Amino acid sequence: MDHLSTLMLTDFSLTTISGYIDPGSATAFMAMIIGAVAGAGMTLKLYWYKIKEKISKN
């Protein structure tokens, strides 16, 4: 059984990983960041009066 587990670990493990990142991945990542910032901005805009009211009461 020990031989089988050793065989499985050595044959199916990744020994080298290439550093290639698809150019479309960077575009998708930037779109996610821009979307998150836009979403946070819209949420702040929608709840601005409630936030302002809580801050000004103190």
49 residue type, one letter: Y
Summarised one tens digit per residue, pLDDT across range 2-39 is 566 665 555 555 556 666 777 788 889 999 999 999 99
For the entire predicted model, the pTM comes to 0.52
Structural domain boundaries in the chain: 26-58
